[in-house]
Amino acid sequence: MKVGFILSAASIVGAFVVPNQQQLQTLRETSSHVAPKISEKVLGLGDILTKANDLGSYVVGMIKNVERIADQHYQGAKSGEILVATDKDEYAKSLDDDDDPWFEPDGHHHHGKPNKTIYQLIGDAPHTTIFAKLVSQFDDIVDCLNSTSSNHTLFVPVDDAFKKFKHHPHLPKDMLKDFVLYHIAPGLYSPHHVFGSRTIPTELNQSELGPYHQRISTHLGLRGFTLNFYAHIVKGNIPATNGLINSLDNILFPPPRTSDTLDFLSSRFSTFELGLLKTGLFDTINDTSTHTGATVFAPTNFAFKKLGPKLTAFLFSRWGEKYLKALLEYHIVFNHTLYSDAYNKPTEKDDVVEDNADRNVHIDLPTLLEGHHLSVDIAHISRFLTIKINGFTPVSVPDIIVKDGVIHVLNDILIPPKKARGRKPDSDDDNNDRFVHMPFFGNADEAPALTVDELIERLEPYI
């Protein structure tokens, strides 16, 4: 197939590389999925997010930190370096201030064995009255935070965290319960342990993940160590008879869906989102009745820019749409949710990777491109981490937690392997579907090594 007759469209490719909101909105309106307003996206949190000013702490903070961390990881990936974390012992020590008796109403710090439960401590403390009142509405959660039969860790927002929002929440009770549960983790998570964990399970279960717990992610960036990119622990390792308390300067909102998260971060993912909308994959991702959990390797706008103007123009033309769909299907995995330190397999118990601190982990993930897997290699020692896809493509930002799975950010496009003639794509004697043996794209300003005709030849067997 010759495509030279359409390449004159390259002069307008800028409109495809970073599509504007009007383009995205037009496609959303033609999709069976109608994108919710921004105030409805954070799990529909009602009146708490009804005005733009109220969104600042959560949405703007998340966007800025994702972009900063993406830039940091990209620079590190170019030089082959791993982002170096500060010492977790120093981090834990910085949060353990014996002269700051936050959870003692009489103003005295009691050393020795704790004599109060988590619920009793937050109920008595002057800094956590709002969250304590929310917990008090649910007898089963009160019982959980009072019971000494098992340990839990509470990430409790201080009262000032709620005061950042001008409008108090008026939520359905089931939604409010999810909100509270998302701040409770099974087991003990001291700041030392939190710092060494890439994700943390919570007591929130959502149908989109099946039997698995929703998780919180941890990140180290220019604004320090954060949970879900924006919340900081301000006081940690507060002991109770049934666990620990870490206080936060921000509320932890249960995460929105994959599609809404990409929309939040359109300054990074508008081209990817446009491709999903054009090919119908946006609706496929949103229809969670067809799958339980997902892993999406999301290419940034920069990744699409590296394809070059001719290739991008072709993919986003009506002639290239079917090839674009195959290409994007290769970035999406259903029924397998792979975090950097945990793996939710279909119908199986969590396969936790976090204890494998001194060895590499290799996992093959089946993509929506039939018969093709992604080869994922995770190497980490505590917070030192690299994730590589198909042998060399690095994940620039791991673990963007979403309601229906997880997003990992890529600054490169993953190209399906060339299918050898006479072989099935999942043939046992053909491992080419697992690895890309050469980097197809260099710097964004360099000419791509893969031409339109070569890409067509590569993708034609899967159309």
What confidence category does residue 419 fall into, taking pLDDT thresholds of 50, 70 and 90?
Answer: low
User: What is the spatial order of strands in the sheet that 213-221 belongs to?
Assistant: 199-205, 213-221, 224-227
Residue 15 sits in the same domain as residue 125: no
Residue 162, domain CATH? 2.30.180.10
pLDDT at 179: 95
Where is the domain boundary, 213, 248, 283?
A: 248
Q: Which of 57-71, 310-324, 350-364, 430-444 has the highest mean pLDDT?
A: 310-324
C-alpha distances (whole Å) from 44 to each of 176, 253, 423 are: 11, 10, 48
Residue 109 falls within a domain, yes or no?
Answer: yes
Nearest-5° angle of CA 263, CA 266, CA 272? 85
How many whole angstroms separate alpha carbon 323 and alpha carbon 451?
Answer: 13
Average pLDDT over residues 230-234: 93
The residues, ordered by sequence, that sit 6+ positions from 339 with a Cβ below 8 Å of its Cβ are: 198, 199, 215, 217, 353, 398, 399, 406
Poorest-pLDDT segment among 80-84, 89-93, 279-283, 408-412 = 80-84
Residue 273 sits in the same domain as residue 235: no
The reported pTM is: 0.80
Residue 326 falls within a domain, yes or no?
Answer: yes
Where is the domain boundary, 248, 282, 302?
A: 248
Mean pLDDT of the chain: 78
pLDDT at 30: 52
Which sign, positive or negative, has the C-alpha torsion 443, 446, 452, 453? negative
Residue 273 sits in the same domain as residue 390: yes
Residue 49 falls within a domain, yes or no?
Answer: no
Residue 39 falls within a domain, yes or no?
Answer: no
Number of domains in the chain: 2
Residue 438 sits in the same domain as residue 369: yes
| pLDDT for residue 96 is more than 70 | no
DSSP annotation of 60 reads I
Residue 45 falls within a domain, yes or no?
Answer: no
Q: Which of 57-71, 169-183, 262-276, 319-333 has the highest mean pLDDT?
A: 319-333
**pLDDT tens for each residue of 41-88:** 333 444 333 333 444 445 555 555 565 555 555 444 443 333 334 555
Residue 16 falls within a domain, yes or no?
Answer: yes
| pLDDT for residue 356 is more than 90 | no
Q: At what angle do helices 266-279 and 321-329 cross, to 10 degrees?
A: 120
Where is the domain boundary, 248, 265, 299?
A: 248
Residue 146 sits in the same domain as residue 20: no
**pLDDT tens for each residue of 121-152:** 999 999 999 999 999 999 999 999 999 999 99
pLDDT at 462: 85
Residue 275 falls within a domain, yes or no?
Answer: yes
| pLDDT for residue 101 is more than 80 | no
Poorest-pLDDT segment among 346-355, 384-393, 435-444 = 435-444
pLDDT at 221: 77
Residue 260 sits in the same domain as residue 142: no
Average pLDDT over residues 195-216: 95
Coil, strand or helix at 428: coil
Residue 74 falls within a domain, yes or no?
Answer: yes
pLDDT at 298: 97
pLDDT at 190: 94
pLDDT at 81: 37
Residue 168 sits in the same domain as residue 70: yes
pLDDT-above-90 percentage for the chain = 54
| pLDDT for residue 420 is more than 70 | no
Residue 395 sits in the same domain as residue 335: yes
Structure tokens given for 385:
């981490």
Residue 89 sits in the same domain as residue 202: yes
pLDDT at 222: 75
Average pLDDT over residues 388-401: 94
DSSP strand E in 327-444: where? Answer: 332-334, 337-338, 342-344, 351-352, 360-366, 373-381, 384-389, 393-402, 405-410
**pLDDT tens for each residue of 63-74:** 555 655 555 554
Structural domain boundaries enclosing 235 = 55-248
Contact 433, 390 (CB under 8 A): no
Burial 98-133, CB ≥16 within 10 A → b, else e: eeeebbbeeeeeeeeebebbbbbbbbebebbebbbe
Residue 305 sits in the same domain as residue 385: yes
Residue 243 sits in the same domain as residue 260: no
Residue 239 sits in the same domain as residue 272: no
| pLDDT for residue 358 is more than 70 | no
pLDDT at 215: 98
pLDDT at 15: 39
pLDDT at 432: 43
